[in-house]
Amino acid sequence: MSVHHPEHTLDNPPAAAPVDAVAHWQRLPADSMVGVNTDHVLWSERVPGGGHWSWRLKRGTALRFVALGADANASVVLYAAHSTLERYNMPDTLKAQHTAHYRRGHVLMSDMGRSMASFTADSLGWHDPLGALLDTATMQRRFGEHRFEAHRNGMHRSGKDGLLIEIGKHGLGRRDLIAPVNLFSKVTVDEEGRFHFAAGHSQAGDFVELRLDMDVVVAISTAPHPLNPNERYAPPQVGVVAWHSGPAPADDFCRTFRGENARAHHNSDVFAL
């Protein structure tokens, strides 16, 4: 008896062409690649919706994330490569920059006061640091249970499980999972302190760029945002492009955005000497 297993469409290159002849970044929306020095692209990926990935990357590497569908979400966590005990600190980052969301100019600070990454380009102007992760129990309650044994690549995976898998590859565990940055998602807070998800905030082709200001371990999950009211588990793909941009110059927009940012960048510069 044959069993049908619905799977994600990965948009592979045609069989007649070598895989490396069709770089992933060449198949991303052209408008989303504005400002990328394609001569210096190191690699690119298309992460399926509900997928996850991780990298160990050097200071001066730029990452461009591209939404390939409406209401995409990329939950990102950062750990210092030299010692993963140092990691992105959401409360300190928000407090230092007097903000409750991220956009171009903001930096992501570690719990040692160093700039780990900077938002150097952004088509949206709002990325969520507060909404946390979709956990497995909530996912199954909302969307049903779709296990790998029955659904293969069409399985459902939560953002929490996806990030635990990725940080586990770098010797980290459940107690090390930190609050992520939810790229492409917008969450507002009303006067009663209740969170509200802004449906339709991102569209296909929207992008955001992070320049890494330290050597870091980056892990991402493209599972749905936990507050997304969509009744179907259908998270879009997210494209990722990496290239060597070099560290922040003295007149860098993010460095000069706030005095607190300048100090965080200075701390990263001194550490890199």
Percentage of the chain beyond pLDDT 90 is 77
| Helix/strand/coil percent split, the chain, to 5 | 25, 25, 50
Whether 159 and 133 have beta carbons less than 8 Å apart is answered as yes
The token pair that represents 271 in the structure block: 């550490």
Please check whether residue 226 is in contact with residue 134, taking contact to mean a CB–CB distance below 8 angstroms: yes
* Of residues 253, 272, 263, 258, the one with CA closest to residue 213: 272
Residue 61 host element (H or E): strand 61-67
Place of tokens 């380009």: 121
What DSSP character marks residue 257?
T
Report yes or no: 254 and 248 within 8 Å, Cβ to Cβ: yes
Q: Residue 38 in 3-state DSSP?
A: helix
Per-residue pLDDT of the chain (273 residues; tens, 9 = 90+): 444 444 555 555 555 555 555 677 788 888 888 888 888 899 999 999 999 999 999 999 999 999 999 999 999 999 999 999 999 999 999 999 999 999 999 999 999 999 999 999 999 999 999 999 999 999 999 988 767 555 666 678 999 999 999 999 999 999 999 999 999 999 999 999 899 999 999 999 999 999 999 999 999 999 999 999 998 999 999 999 999 999 999 999 999 999 999 999 999 999 998
